[in-house]
């Protein structure tokens, strides 16, 4: 499935750079240690009737931290900056994700917005929302 391959590739891409907290699939985790980074596919649809082989995938990457966790404010700000840097260049992100991904899926475009931090009681959620256009196929 296209979304699974892209999710796994994005998890690998983030994990290769940010190594001090876990990066998890938001669809498949029951328990995890906080802080963590959660990668989740929000929706998947066909781009259009004429481009029915191209999927439009809405995704989110969320940094989750609970007050009292092992990271202090400076650590969380550094993690947020690192994550924003990783996700900020859509051209390089597309190249890197396509290098990681297995044959059979081609990412045509992937872009995330800047992180939006939100303190919800004792939990910080810094959400990076993004979109991806991908299709079955390989890059030649």
**Across 4-18, 61-75, 103-117, least confident range:** 61-75
Residue given tokens 């999710």 in the structure block: 7
Instruction: Map out the domains of the chain as residue ranges.
Output: 2-137
Tokens of 27: 């669809």
Query: How many DSSP H helices and E strands does the chain contain?
Result: 3, 6
Give dist(CA 127, CA 37) in Å, integer. 10
Q: Which pLDDT does position 11 carry in this prediction?
A: 95
Q: Above 60 in pLDDT, residue 36?
A: yes
**pLDDT, tens digit, for every residue of 41-52?**
998 887 665 666
64 touches 134 (CB < 8 A): no
Q: Above 90 in pLDDT, residue 9?
A: yes
Mean pLDDT of 50-66: 86
Give dist(CA 98, CA 31) in Å, integer. 29
Mean pLDDT of 105-131: 89
Strand stretches in the chain, DSSP E: 23-25, 36-46, 54-66, 104-112, 116-120, 123-137
Mean pLDDT of the chain: 87
CATH of 2-137, one of 1.10.10.10, 3.30.2000.30, 2.40.33.20, 1.10.10.410: 3.30.2000.30
Mean pLDDT of 105-130: 89
Q: Above 70 in pLDDT, residue 138?
A: no
């Amino acid at each position: 499935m296209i979304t699974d391959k892209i999710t796994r590739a994005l998890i690998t891409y983030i994990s290769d750079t940010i190594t001090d907290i876990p990066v998890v699939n938001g669809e498949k985790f029951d328990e995890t240690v906080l802080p963590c980074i959660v990668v989740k596919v929000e929706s998947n649809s066909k781009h259009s009737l004429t481009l029915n082989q191209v999927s439009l995938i809405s995704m989110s990457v969320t940094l989750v931290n609970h007050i009292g966790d092992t990271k202090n404010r400076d650590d969380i700000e550094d993690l947020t900056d690192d994550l924003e840097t990783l996700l900020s260049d859509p051209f390089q992100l597309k190249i890197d994700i396509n290098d990681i991904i297995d044959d059979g899926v081609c990412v045509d475009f992937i872009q995330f917005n800047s992180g939006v931090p939100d303190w919800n009681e004792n939990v910080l959620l810094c959400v990076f929302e993004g979109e991806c256009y991908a299709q079955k196929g390989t890059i030649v």
